[in-house]
Structure 1
């Protein structure tokens, strides 16, 4: 693999969507369960025999003072010898991030909080608030259906005082075909009544109602913060055919006059569709986080395909790392390789100059996130 272009290698990336890592040691089964979004493999099958497994052995082993391509058993033994704290420190620092925008709505209590993540990474840490988590907190607070809308708005206002963005996992709950119209309070009250009644009957407080999902998004618009949407690839709880970002078209048309930045996360295998949306809608942005480390050696193709249409000023870096600190390192390194190869190809073809390549690298790796999330104001 060619050396990185200096303008890419030197980037102090802004990871605009990521999560905490676990603070404890892991056995092999636990490690493999966090390696991808897959369910546990059947007996006789290991996730080390996959793109991400080979990427760990190739790119993560040297960070632990092991030779590249070391055996999985030796890798896990070395990881255990060093201990979780040292492993986390090494990989978070190897990622070379200047800022982390952390979604705190998943795994709270089992992973490191933003302040500790920032300290380990040597980076500034910012919070992304997950809309569904806030709604579910309100649902179990004793608020009735009539007061749900106001209680949610009040709680969201309080929780986002220091946050830089919001996150919707509507893709996991109802799919992305959200309506373009803002629901009225009577509709929200009726939907909340149905949801709260189901909770009273013993159902878990898991929000999966189109009207309420739409309400959460519009409340996010009113907060004036960028809104992230999970798109595409995820675990077996997601119906992938309902996660095509093109299903958001009606909502994107309705949001366009508000100027709300819409951040399409992950996007694989719909990354070309996401690139199209970023081109034609003024406030739509894309990344290929999560997919990058899962596709391993194919990360270069993924970056290039996304950038066929997505403007360079609307493409961002994210790792979507969760649980394993290795995913921070892999997300960063494989993204750098993909971006460097893409820019080098353009240089070789005369599509742009070295000055252009430097500028594009900084836009994608740093400046776009600073602009959209207004990090300079924080």
Structure 2
């Protein structure tokens, strides 16, 4: 069903890209979640993500598909970072971006990404809760001032950002006490953390992490939660979304949308939570990029249990504009292949396939985050 029409994609979870042209080594480092150099005699270009970049990005820069890495990087240098980014983002077919701004570095922000992608593309910010708390703590070491400032920052964020994100999975793991901590417990935890914290120190205290989650939930804005694989800073078996079941139950009465990011290799577990709880949603970002030629199989597995109104498109692109292209192309091709096969077998109607494709590509994100989040 290669002709399955899709609207411009709404990428509900992504990051900024580099302003300057990276070295060959730095470019390749964005093709993996590892934080270490490749094994001797190997390259990160020899991965599913690396092969996907070499297949889908060269034509947008005037090269043949599958061109060698050296030729691709030479063309990138010839065009320069700004023109490369413009061509790739404009060619991605993405019409709206929700950008997690919590990763430090010299990266394009939401407005700059939208401008690079071309007329009609919109971008809004997703606020990372842990970074919000750390920035607040950098301005004061007084417990009361910190908690008041944090409450104000969350409230302000709810009025300006499209939603919040937590990296609880990295800072503690997802197996937390699901109940909101009481005021005395929060004050004591904040005092301990501030007293022992160096400037710029990361927040890992489980009480304060729970306090952040519940502060965001009470705003009613969508809350994104990292689950599944990522860089080695996390411990993967602590990132199974099923560990959030207690928190999911506790937050159900609030109606606050919980959006489980990435999920792989626990995407079937995440599908169960979306199946069982009305306020749980999930995406397929990152997983499709890193499974590459096998992305169709992963996408089909995500369509097993999760209700179709609960699945959202994202790229989780970070650093390289190429990852926007790859995430979008693998999604489109995978969805068309899976749904097309079901239509060909007669188990789905073509009209239903078109409707579900539009839901996952854009309509679900617009409903979950509100139409105002996408212009």
TM range (shorter): over 0.9
1:26 paired with 2:22, answer yes
2:362 pairs, out of 360, 363, 366, with 366
Taking only aligned residues, the RMSD between alpha carbons, in angstroms, comes to 1.4
Deviation at 1:160, TM superposition (A): 3.5
- Show the counterpart of 1:161: 159
- 1:166–1:225 contact (8 Å) kept in structure 2: yes
1:194 paired with 2:192, answer yes
1:132 pairs, out of 102, 106, 130, with 130
- Show the counterpart of 1:111: 107
TM-score (norm 1): 0.95
- 1:95–1:332 contact (8 Å) kept in structure 2: yes
| 1:281-296 pair list within 5 angstroms | 281-296=277-292
Deviation at 1:149, TM superposition (A): 2.5
- 1:139–1:205 contact (8 Å) kept in structure 2: no
Query: Which consecutive residues of structure 1, in runs of 5 or more, have no partner in the other structure?
Result: none
| Cα distance between partner residues in 2 of 1:196 and 1:168 | 20
Deviation at 1:354, TM superposition (A): 1.1
| Cα distance between partner residues in 1 of 2:116 and 2:200 | 35
Per-residue Cα deviation, 1:143-183 (whole angstroms, up to 9, x for no partner) = 42234322211122223422111000000000011222111
Larger deviation, residues 147-156 vs 283-292: 147-156
Deviation at 1:107, TM superposition (A): 2.5
SS at match of 2:160: coil
| Cα distance between partner residues in 2 of 1:37 and 1:146 | 38
| 1:315-354 pair list within 5 angstroms | 315-354=311-350
- Show the counterpart of 1:179: 177
| 1:222-237 pair list within 5 angstroms | 222-237=218-233
| Cα distance between partner residues in 1 of 2:60 and 2:290 | 19
1:275 paired with 2:271, answer yes
Query: Which consecutive residues of structure 2, in runs of 5 or more, have no partner in the other structure?
Result: none
- Alignment size in residue pairs: 371
Larger deviation, residues 40-49 vs 212-221: 40-49
| Cα distance between partner residues in 2 of 1:283 and 1:372 | 10
| Cα distance between partner residues in 1 of 2:275 and 2:9 | 23
| Cα distance between partner residues in 1 of 2:4 and 2:252 | 37
Runs of 4+ in 1 over 3 A off after TM superposition: none
- Show the counterpart of 1:306: 302
| Cα distance between partner residues in 2 of 1:290 and 1:361 | 19
- 1:13–1:97 contact (8 Å) kept in structure 2: yes
- Show the counterpart of 2:72: 75
- 2:14–2:315 contact (8 Å) kept in structure 1: yes
- 1:271–1:306 contact (8 Å) kept in structure 2: yes
TM-score (norm 2): 0.96
Per-residue Cα deviation, 1:86-127 (whole angstroms, up to 9, x for no partner) = 11011111111111000011135x100111101111311111
- 1:148–1:189 contact (8 Å) kept in structure 2: no
1:44 paired with 2:41, answer yes
Per-residue Cα deviation, 1:305-337 (whole angstroms, up to 9, x for no partner) = 011101110000000001100000000000111
